[in-house]
Amino acid sequence: MAPRPIMLVGGGQAFTLLGSEGYTMIPRYAHYAGANAQTWVIPEATHCDGPNFRPDEYAERMMEFFDNAFWITK
């Protein structure tokens, strides 16, 4: 993936068989993605429900990531 920026977001709540994606899988993916990978674990979330728990913070972080990735200035 490098040098492209990448944002990896995962939930901290464990799945029955897989464990927590945020604490087991996301760090591994970030390692392989390279230095341009950013990670964010939402402790109370599972796979895709982070925006349900932190809608404002989620929107803010995603907008900041995309603004930086695409060199958008305001």
pLDDT, tens digit only, all 74 positions of the chain: 778 899 999 999 987 777 788 888 899 999 999 999 999 999 999 888 999 999 999 999 999 999 999 998 87
| Token pair 């695409």 in the structure block, residue | 70
**What SS3 class is residue 41?**
strand
Predicted pLDDT of residue 43: 95
Domains in the chain, number: 1
Do the beta carbons of residue 41 and residue 10 sit within 8 Å?
yes
Q: Is 51 part of a structural domain of the chain? A: yes
Predicted pLDDT of residue 45: 94
d(CA 2, CA 18): 27
Predicted pLDDT of residue 20: 85
Predicted pLDDT of residue 63: 96
Predicted pLDDT of residue 38: 95
Q: Is 27 part of a structural domain of the chain? A: yes
- Residue 51 lies in domain: 6-69
